[in-house]
């Protein structure tokens, strides 16, 4: 008798539980990440929606107390700076009041990547940092330890980045990135360790942004890449407008072409011939910090990467490279601007040339400048176009380029070219957004990668 009672009780309990979890039965759904525990899906769930109310009480409360006016960051460990170049969410180049350029890695925070590889929320963090720095009335860098000022690379200063408004109020950008869930706290060994721990608590519990529940609308979560010709790539993403907008950043694509020029050991310029219009189209592929032996000059390659932009210029990042065939480079792939029939010249109104290998003759050297960080430099020149107008055209040598002259010594300054005429130069056309790089101010540049590509007089 007792066994029968127990059996009927368990049967009743099972029916009750199943009825309680039946989505057709009336009960209050409690959705987590778009689903109820009963299996019912939230019809209004949007995985890309970011509806959390981001507040920053820790950032609001923390203030810069150290004296900084009249001090120099490099010499004194604190000082006012201006932005020289933006990089990503936790790195930027600044210029001190003394004119010295410094590369700074933000202390206490690690944002997702958006340059050599692309991670969810990387572009969002980069955009957030860029807008915060642009809108700041003043920017003050402060290092925590004068004895240990550099990160693991030994080249980037570690610094707190303070944003000062017109009233003199201050905000710590490093902390704010953590508090809005665009960067993970890495401040355990710093003076602000406890504050960073408090700042990350709420967004971690709510699983916001980098912590998981809502997807990044700017990230391509698809597993398949779209195969595109370089002509299609250039037409959709190679315009100045696309670069300013950051159109489809992070989209996965597959391209093929020939390595036209190398940029150091990790990156290269790829060109592809289009027989429909008898034109070569080019694009820069950025390989980050790992050498890419496959990117040998002349190799025919297939590359999978993601759409990205560097100071307004299209590039592919987060790349994997497969060699299709080994072949010498095709000399006919060089575009000679003497044969451009529509009277267009190398300028921002002719974006189809950007990323392509171009030859131009008779440049007059007018000046230049050397970068403070590394061996990069810019040679300022002018030439007369086919309409009779004098046009500025800068020649850029990046820090990764080992430009060796006839005497077998490395050329590290624009001064080498002063007093000379560039009779001929073959280089890749590039462009820097004038709103980003104050030095170049929107001018087109020729990216020189080898001394063999230039003839001086």
Residue-wise pLDDT for 150-186, tens only, equals 877 778 899 999 999 999 999 999 999 999 999 999 9
Query: What is the C-alpha to C-alpha distance for residues 401 and 267, in angstroms, rounded to an integer?
Result: 11
Residues 346 and 414 in one domain: yes
Q: What is the CA radius of gyration of the chain?
A: 27
Evaluate whether residue 274 is within a structural domain.
Answer: yes
| Most confident of the following: 159-173, 281-295, 335-349, 432-446 | 159-173
Number of domains in the chain: 4
What pTM was estimated for this model as a whole? 0.68
Residues 186 and 128 in one domain: yes
Whether 394 and 378 have beta carbons less than 8 Å apart is answered as: yes
Residues 6 or more apart whose CB falls under 8 angstroms from that of 381 comprise: 363, 364, 365, 366, 392, 393, 394, 395, 422
Query: What is the C-alpha to C-alpha distance for residues 425 and 335, in angstroms, rounded to an integer?
Result: 11
pLDDT tens-digit map of 221-276: 888 899 999 999 999 998 878 887 888 989 999 999 889 889 989 999 998 888 78
Evaluate whether residue 42 is within a structural domain.
Answer: no
Query: What is the C-alpha to C-alpha distance for residues 270 and 228, in angstroms, rounded to an integer?
Result: 14
Evaluate whether residue 281 is within a structural domain.
Answer: yes
| Residue 90: C-alpha distances to residues 132, 178, 186 (Å) | 12, 11, 12
Whether 428 and 398 have beta carbons less than 8 Å apart is answered as: no
Residues 327 and 359 in one domain: no
Evaluate whether residue 305 is within a structural domain.
Answer: yes
Residues 207 and 244 in one domain: no
Q: Identify the domain boundary among 331, 364, 381.
A: 331
Res. 3: pLDDT tops 90? no
Residues 365 and 384 in one domain: yes
Pairing relation of β-strands 101-106 and 157-164? parallel
Evaluate whether residue 182 is within a structural domain.
Answer: yes
Res. 140: pLDDT tops 80? yes
Whether 329 and 298 have beta carbons less than 8 Å apart is answered as: yes
CATH code: domain of residue 402: 2.40.50.140
Tokens representing residue 284 in the block: 């820069």
The pLDDT > 70 percentage for the chain reads: 82
Q: Name the burial class of residue 211, with classes exposed (0-12), middle (13-18) and buried (19+) by CB atoms within 10 angstroms of its CB.
A: middle
Mean pLDDT of 392-405: 88
Evaluate whether residue 220 is within a structural domain.
Answer: no
Whether 338 and 326 have beta carbons less than 8 Å apart is answered as: no
Domain membership of residue 9 as a residue range: 2-36
Evaluate whether residue 91 is within a structural domain.
Answer: yes
* Cα first-last separation, the chain: 111
Whether 121 and 250 have beta carbons less than 8 Å apart is answered as: no
Whether 446 and 300 have beta carbons less than 8 Å apart is answered as: no
| Predicted local confidence at residue 2, as pLDDT | 53
Query: What is the C-alpha to C-alpha distance for residues 310 and 316, in angstroms, rounded to an integer?
Result: 10
How much is the mean pLDDT over the chain? Answer: 83
């Amino acid at each position: 008798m007792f066994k029968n009672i127990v059996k009927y009780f368990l049967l009743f309990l099972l029916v009750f539980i199943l009825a309680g979890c039946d989505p057709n039965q009336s009960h209050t759904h409690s959705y987590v990440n778009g689903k109820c525990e009963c299996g019912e899906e939230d019809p209004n769930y949007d995985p890309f929606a970011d509806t959390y109310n981001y507040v920053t009480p820790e950032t609001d409360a923390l203030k810069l107390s150290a004296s900084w006016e009249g001090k120099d960051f490099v010499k004194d460990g604190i000082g006012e700076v201006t932005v020289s170049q933006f990089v990503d969410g936790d790195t930027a180049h600044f210029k001190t009041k003394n004119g010295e350029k410094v590369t700074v890695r933000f202390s206490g925070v690690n944002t997702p990547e958006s340059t050599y590889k692309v991670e969810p929320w990387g572009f969002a963090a980069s955009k957030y940092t860029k807008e915060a720095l642009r809108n700041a009335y003043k920017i003050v860098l402060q290092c925590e330890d004068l004895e240990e000022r550099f990160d693991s690379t030994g080249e980037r200063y570690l610094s707190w980045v303070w944003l000062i408004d017109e009233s003199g109020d201050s905000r710590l950008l490093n902390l704010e990135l953590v508090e809005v869930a665009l960067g993970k706290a890495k401040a355990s060994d710093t003076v602000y360790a406890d504050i960073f721990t408090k700042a990350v608590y709420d967004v971690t519990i709510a699983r916001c942004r980098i912590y998981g529940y809502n997807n990044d609308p700017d990230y391509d979560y698809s597993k398949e890449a779209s195969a595109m010709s370089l002509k299609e790539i250039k037409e959709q993403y190679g315009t100045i407008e696309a670069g300013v907008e950051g159109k489809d950043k992070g989209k996965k694509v597959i391209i093929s072409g020939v390595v036209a020029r190398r940029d150091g050991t990790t990156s290269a310029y790829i060109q592809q011939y289009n027989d429909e219009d008898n034109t070569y189209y080019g694009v820069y592929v950025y390989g980050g910090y790992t050498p890419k032996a496959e990117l040998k000059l002349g190799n025919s390659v297939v590359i999978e990467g993601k759409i990205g932009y560097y100071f307004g210029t299209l590039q592919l990042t987060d790349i994997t490279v497969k060699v299709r065939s080994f072949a010498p480079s095709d000399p006919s792939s060089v575009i000679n601007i003497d044969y451009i029939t529509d009277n267009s010249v190398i300028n921002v109104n002719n974006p189809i040339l950007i990323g392509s290998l171009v030859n131009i003759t008779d440049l007059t050297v007018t000046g230049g400048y050397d970068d403070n960080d590394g061996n990069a430099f810019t040679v300022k020149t002018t030439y007369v176009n086919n309409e009779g107008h004098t046009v500025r055209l800068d020649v850029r040598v990046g820090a990764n380029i080992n430009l060796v002259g006839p005497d077998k010594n490395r050329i590290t300054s624009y001064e080498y070219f002063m007093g000379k005429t560039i009779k001929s130069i073959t280089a890749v056309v590039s462009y820097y957004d004038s709103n980003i790089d104050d030095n170049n101010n929107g001018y087109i540049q020729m990216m020189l990668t080898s001394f063999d590509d230039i003839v001086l007089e």
